[in-house]
Chains A and B, each alone.
Chain A
Amino acid sequence: MSAPALELRAVHKSFGKTAIINGVDLSIAKGERHAIIGPNGAGKSTLFNLISARFPLTSGDIVLHGEPVTGLPPQEINRRGLGRSFQITNIFPRLSVFENVRCAVLWSMGYRYSFWHRVSALRAVRERADEVVSLIGMERRRDRLAGVLSYAEQRALEIGVTVAGGADVILLDEPTAGMSRSETEDAVELIRTVSEGKTLVMVEHDMGVVFGLADRISVLVYGRVLASDVPTAIRSNKAVQEAYLGAED
């Protein structure tokens, strides 16, 4: 069996004296759709920030495609195939939808810091960016400034920017938060499409979305993994019901 796409080994994170993540071990197989659930303040977003190197770890190791990436800067981890979205929309407001996506494409196409290529002449870049724009269903908004889009559109663009660089491990932080029912359905379809053949890890509160999409679910409570299993097992897990799902009854 090949190495897992993403592995967390004894990951700890403290802010000052407050321990937020208390030793998380997690292994996510290639091609798996993995959801992380848990009550507010359980450390789900922090975990994402550690994996993507937005914050440094206090201790532990993060392994991407079998190689340790602990301590590398975020851009280096992104170049190794990890893309992430943000819970609070985090795009380039004064660039158009197309340009937002193109920014996310450029590095992976090898143009790096070039100041000798005319970007409009790079056909492969344009085609890839347009492909992503239509993937997220925004052809009609292609040349709009991202800052003036509706909330749901910005969320879709957020996902587009996350996947455009061809990352094979995709981290989505609450992709459907604040959406209406029909918008959520569209978002789920979009997530299903963009994560096809890739490894997906997502933090999500909407249990309909979680149980509809995930192959496996991890439950995070107080910075620890309470359980990590297939959805049916999670649903019938006593500890999980008490700690979290039980609240629905």
Chain B
Amino acid sequence: MTLSPFLRRLGLWGITALVMVVLPLLLRQGFALSMLSQMGIAVIFALSYNMLLGQTGMLSFGHAVYYGLGAYFSAHALNAIGAGKLGIPVTLLPLVGGVAGLSFGIVFGYVTTKRSGTPFAMISLGIAEMVAACALMFPGFFGGEGGIATNRQVGSAWLGITYGPQIQVYYLIAGWCLLSMIAMFALTHTPLGRMANAVRDNAERVRFVGYNPTRIRFMMLCLSTFFAGVAGGLGAINYELVTAENVGTVVSGNVLVMAFIGGVGHFFGPIIGAVLVSFLQSALSSYTQAWLLYFGLFFMVMVLFAPGGMASLIMIHAPVVRAKRMGTLALPYLVSGLLALVMLAGLVGLVEMIYFLETGAEVGKPLKLFGLALMPSTTGPWVGAMAVMLGGAAAFAWSLRLVRDAWARVHAYLQVQEGL
């Protein structure tokens, strides 16, 4: 507690940078590297989204418009560099995406930010649909169904950086990610950033302390679209392909889910959300066809039981950690966690067996799951999975009492401490 907040923050950014540098060296598979690249892009995009939702209280269903248009303009710029018509280094290409995102942010934002709340959400959805429709109407720019393909190994290689190997692209993304994170964090501590929170809390009152809430929403949207465009530019470099899907509502919905799962109430929430969701999307999808179903269930559980997201789950433990009382919670958490896993295993068994039957399994072949060879054509595995799931659920429900009791003890302790 002797460090000044500034030094502590500097240390935190330093550790973040170090983790970003070291991670790809520890995880050497190509799969991990492309996943880390995807995460870096998602982090920028999710944080830019949260400048609207978490910080200014604007629910947007169309943030992919700025990501996607940033990506398209970057891809065209990349192709122009390749054709020798444009002379900017690939390293700075995300700026093209950022400026493109910002330009459309200014145009669309001028219209959308005239309203707040539900009307804003509806207009953002309308603009998203409009841009998605344009993507198919103007194949010259958007490349039609096939999208715009590009090649990142263009321009003069500076210090031998060609952006051929994925590791170089990863470090490009990591660098931009770190810069964007710092910039967006710094923004939350400026007069505009603080007033954005005031608009979120009570837009009407803002007018009576001299500010125009419409102007604040507009400026926050513009700045947020710049970072969305930067993420889009990195996407163009990373995937070397931009399709109409990139401006679509699925991507817009995805960034909302990332921000929400991570937690919109804390700056670092969307970072967790972006990392977690990217991980689930690439890891889970390689294990099971039913991954979207699991992902949907996970999102529902979060919305129902932890509407503040991962960040709020972490932050409620901060005072407990400070009071060195995590020990009280550890055992109940462990028991509950294990029982939740049992319940989940039963559920996974059922879901996988249904998928196994539905997707035309070869007759007579068993389903391999958790090291077992199950025969979904017989009743045994179904009864077993059901029993595991229901038994697990009952035990889990019982174990929640332990968690509640432990929390009650911790609360009592914290209250006594506060009184002293």
When each residue 24-41 of chain A gets 1 if its CB lies under 8 Å from chain B and 0 otherwise, what string results?
000000000000000000
Q: How far is the CA of A138 from the CA of B187 in the complex (A)?
A: 28
Q: Using a CB-CB cutoff of 8 Å, which residues 56-76 of chain A contact chain B? A: 73-75
Q: Which B-chain residue is minimally distant from A161 (CB atoms)?
A: B209
Nearest A residue to B209 via CB reads A104
The interface residues of chain A lying within 8 Å CB-to-CB of B206 are 75, 103
B199 to chain A, nearest CB (A): 9
Q: Is A102 an interface residue (CB 8 A)?
A: yes
DSSP class of A's interface residues: helix, strand, loop or mixed? Answer: loop
Q: When the two chains form their complex, are residues A115 and B210 in contact, meaning their CB atoms are under 8 A apart? A: no
User: With an 8 A cutoff between CB atoms, is B219 at the interface?
Assistant: yes
Residues of B within 8 A of A44 (CB): none
Q: Which of A5-34 contact B (CB under 8 A)?
A: none
- Shortest CB distance A75–B (Å): 5
Contacts of B192 in A (CB 8 A): 113-115
Q: Kindly specify which of A89-97, A179-187, A210-218 makes contact with the partner chain.
A: A89-97
Q: CA–CA, A54 to B205, complex, Å?
A: 10
Chain A's nearest CB lies how many Å from the CB of B383?
50
Question: What is the bound-complex CA distance between A107 and B192, given in angstroms?
Answer: 10
User: What separation, in Å, do the CA atoms of A93 and B201 have in the docked complex?
Assistant: 6
Name B218's closest neighbour in chain A (CB-CB): A113
> Nearest Cβ in chain A — how far from B160, in angstroms?
36
Counting chain A CB atoms within 10 Å of each CB, the highest count among B189, B197, B201, B219 belongs to B201
Taking CB atoms and an 8 Å cut-off, the chain B residues in 189-212 that contact chain A are 189-195, 197-198, 200-202, 204-212
Decide yes or no: A115 and B191 within 8 Å by CB, A92-B198, A107-B211 being known contacts.
Answer: yes
Q: Which of B187, B205, B207, B219 contacts A161 (CB 8 A)?
A: B205
Evaluate contact between B189 and A120: CB separation under 8 angstroms.
yes
Alpha-carbon distance between A83 and B198 when the two chains are bound, in angstroms = 17
Q: B197: which A residues are within 8 A, CB to CB? A: 92, 94-95, 99
- Contact between B210 and A108 (Cβ–Cβ < 8 Å)? yes
Asked, given contacts A91-B202, A94-B200, A102-B194, whether A79 binds B189 with beta carbons under 8 Å apart, the answer is: no
Question: CB distance A84 to B198 under 8 Å?
Answer: no
Tally of chain A residues near chain B (CB < 8 A): 37
B368 beta carbon closer than 8 Å to chain A: no
In the assembled complex, the Cα of A193 lies from the Cα of B108 at a distance in Å of: 47
B211 touches A115 (CB 8 A): no
Contact B207 A106 (CB under 8 A): no
Smallest CB gap from B220: residue in A: A115
Interface range for B: 20 to 34
Complexed CA–CA distance, A83 and B209 (Å): 7
* Residues 99 to 133 of chain A near chain B (Cβ within 8 Å): 99, 102-104, 106-108, 111-120
Most interface-central of A54, A106, A111, A117 (chain B CB within 10 A): A106
Q: Is A199 an interface residue (CB 8 A)?
A: no
Chain B, 146-200, CB within 8 A of any chain A CB? 186-187, 189-195, 197-198, 200
Decide yes or no whether B401 CB sits under 8 A from chain A: no
Q: Which of A94, A106, A116 contacts B201 (CB 8 A)?
A: A94
Residue on B with the closest CB to A80? Answer: B210
Q: Do A74 and B208 contact each other (CB < 8 Å), given the known contacts A113-B191, A113-B219?
A: yes
Query: Does B132 reach chain A (CB closer than 8 Å)?
Result: no
Give the residues in chain A near B190, CB-CB below 8 Å: 114-119
B219 contacts which chain A residues (CB < 8 A)? 113, 115
A93: which B residues are within 8 A, CB to CB? Answer: 201-202
A52 an interface residue at 8 Å Cβ cutoff?
A: yes
Flag B369-381 by CB within 8 Å of A: 1 or 0 each.
0000000000000
Knowing A93-B202, A95-B198, the reply to whether A115 touches B208 (Cβ < 8 A) is no
**Subset of 17 A-B contacts with CB under 8 Å:** A73-B207, A74-B207, A74-B208, A78-B207, A90-B205, A92-B197, A94-B201, A102-B194, A104-B210, A106-B194, A106-B195, A106-B209, A111-B191, A113-B219, A117-B190, A117-B191, A119-B190
Contacts from A to B (Cβ < 8 Å):
52, 54, 73-75, 78-79, 83-84, 86, 90-95, 99, 102-104, 106-108, 111-120, 161-162, 164-165
